[in-house]
Amino acid sequence: MWTSTQTLADLAQRLAPCRRILILTHLKPDGDAVGSTLGMARALEGAARWSSGRRTHLWYYGPPPPWLAEMCGSTPFTHVSSKHPVEQAAAELGGEPDAIVVLDTGAWSQLEPVAEYLAARRHLVMCVDHHAQGSDDLAGARFVDPTAASACQLAAELARLVLGKASTSELPRDVAEAFYLGLGTDTGWFRHSNVDPRTMRDAASLLEAGADHVRLCAMTEQNSLGRVRLIGKALATLELHCDGRLAIMHATRSDLLACEATPGDTGGITDFSQSLPGVRVSAMLVEALPGDFGRSGDGATLTKISLRSKAIEPLVDVNAVAGRLGGGGHVRAAGARMEADIQTTTRRVIELVEAELRNAASR
């Protein structure tokens, strides 16, 4: 089972003597992935006994968010890609890592570009995650809390322990800002159903530490011209199924090229169909080649599936839907990929959501 095997205090203790730490997250990093890894790297660099020399190394892979460089600022990171492969990134570490910290995922499928590297060093891996599903053999040392709205909430507490602070409100400002980014983006800037009193208390604590809500929100909410054009294309494909309770949109690879958009521009488009009152589940399907999402493959077309559900009866578990497609995530937000075209994927999504709606109605 994907459950905790250690406490955050245990993980902090294990990290204390480590001189070279590699920090990783999932493919196509979002705000929570970037925020949790960046904040953790800054906290580990700031630990008192390590006052000189670079201690941490950040790797990202897959299409990055457009604001990644701005958010990281002077904190160095490596973008692993076909132009900068794992072997080159590993050589730049200057030696074998003492620990590998994986944040905001526990699934091998989300770590494909570095999976072979990780598998050979599994004894070094520790994981902090808030997803309901993960691969037990990824990390023997792990802390998992699916009740957290974001991985950044868990990483912030780990950073507090690493730095010996009494509260996350005492974290250095640049550390708090990174964690606030993830908390804000994973809750839709506090609009989504995963917001609870704990979320708001944690947000308040990070604001007290100096996080700039206005700047971070504005930075991540900006849209490129290509993304705006793509949103228009996707909205034009919107169809309702399951008596109006399922909304599906899609974007083809040619749509992305015509709009001069990137795979990173497709996130969050499901929010538009979620605004329809009768809709309970929204799906966004994006056609791509494996390489568009940082994956290996023989060039066969795949379809990326993003699913969202409302916290309104009947309550649909989209994590269960995604799980049947080989993916996963949360009850209200999940995703998967199918090696199929958009039409085939659409039929399968309709079939699975229809079954889950029936299950929800019978509960």
Can you give the chain as a three-state secondary structure string? Answer: CCCCCCCHHHHHHHHCCCCCEEEECCCCCCHHHHHHHHHHHHHHHHCCCCCCCCCEEEEEECCCCCCHHHHHCCCCCEEECCCCCHHHHHHCCCCCCCEEEEECCCCHHHHHHHHHHHHCCHHHEEEEECCCCCCCCCCCEEEECCCCCCHHHHHHHHHHHHHCCCCHHHCCHHHHHHHHHHHHHHCCCCCCCCCCHHHHHHHHHHHHCCCCHHHHHHHHHCCCHHHHHHHHHHHHCCEEECCCCEEEEEECHHHHHHHCCCHHHHCCCHHHHHCCCCCCEEEEEEEECHHHHCCCCCCCCEEEEEEEECCCCCCCCHHHHHHCCCCEECCCEEEEEECCCHHHHHHHHHHHHHHHHHHHHHC
- Range ranked top by mean pLDDT from 7-11, 64-68, 313-317, 335-339: 7-11
Provide the residue ranges of all domains of the chain, joining segments of one domain with +.
8-220, 225-362
How high is the pLDDT of residue 90?
96
**CATH 3.40.50.720 describes domain 225-362:** no
**pLDDT at 299 > cutoff 70:** no
pLDDT tens-digit readout, 86-95: 999 999 999 9
pLDDT tens-digit readout, 253-283: 999 999 999 887 888 899 899 989 999 999 9
Query: How big is the CA angle at 304 (ends 294 and 321), to the nearest 5 degrees?
Result: 130
How high is the pLDDT of residue 75?
96
* Band of residue 117 on the pLDDT scale cut at 50, 70, 90: very high
**pLDDT at 210 > cutoff 90:** yes
The architecture that CATH gives domain 8-220 is: Alpha-Beta Complex (3.90)
**pLDDT at 50 > cutoff 80:** no
Statement: the pTM of the whole predicted model exceeds 0.75: yes
Average pLDDT score over the chain: 92
How high is the pLDDT of residue 222?
83
